[in-house]
Amino acid sequence: MVRDYDGSEYQDAEPSTDFAAVPDAFQRLWTPYRLAYIKSNSDHEPTTNECPFCVAPTLSDERALIVARGTHAYVLLNLYPYNSGHLLVCPYRHVATYDEATVEEVAEIGSLTQTAMRVLTETAQCHGFNIGMNQGRIAGAGIAEHLHQHIVPRWALDSNFFPIVAGTKAVPRLLGEVREELANAWPTSH
């Protein structure tokens, strides 16, 4: 056991040299803290019959954390962000997968994604992005019933020891503050 700076005790980490492994070409991001999320959602049934991505556009932008609204899709902050400024682009229409989206929805999702990247680069000075969609619960979609694309801003030094050692993700800004900043910087016509 090792004593932390606050006096609490925790198990010291095992050195990786003690694990059986065959070297390969893959880089690995070890995120064991995500296992609790994966297990909790394996048989997850929504607590309500209402889809949060269908409900969000009916609320005020501030309450729903909506940054911008288009004709076929809208942009909102992720309620459980990987990084500050983590956005989602959702069609208004309730469709589960990308292949069910119309040509117009796909075009606007793409256009809103480009605008989001520009706005995040301007406001947050991020160095890159993770952009993607998890299609289906088995692929990791937290809300598999409604198509949504993730836009996660990344910075050179945005990874630290918190998630692995403390099971905590440091998000340095409040969602409301980030939403307001992004909404104010969003161009009137994207």
| Residues annotated catalytic, as ranges | 148
What are residue 10's phi and psi, to 5 degrees?
A: -150, 160
CA-CA-CA-CA torsion sign (34, 168, 161, 150): positive
As a whole number of angstroms, the distance between CA 1 and CA 4 comes to 10
CA distances from 61 to 25, 48, 178 (A): 45, 21, 13
User: Which among 81, 34, 74 has a CA at the least distance from the CA of 58?
Assistant: 74
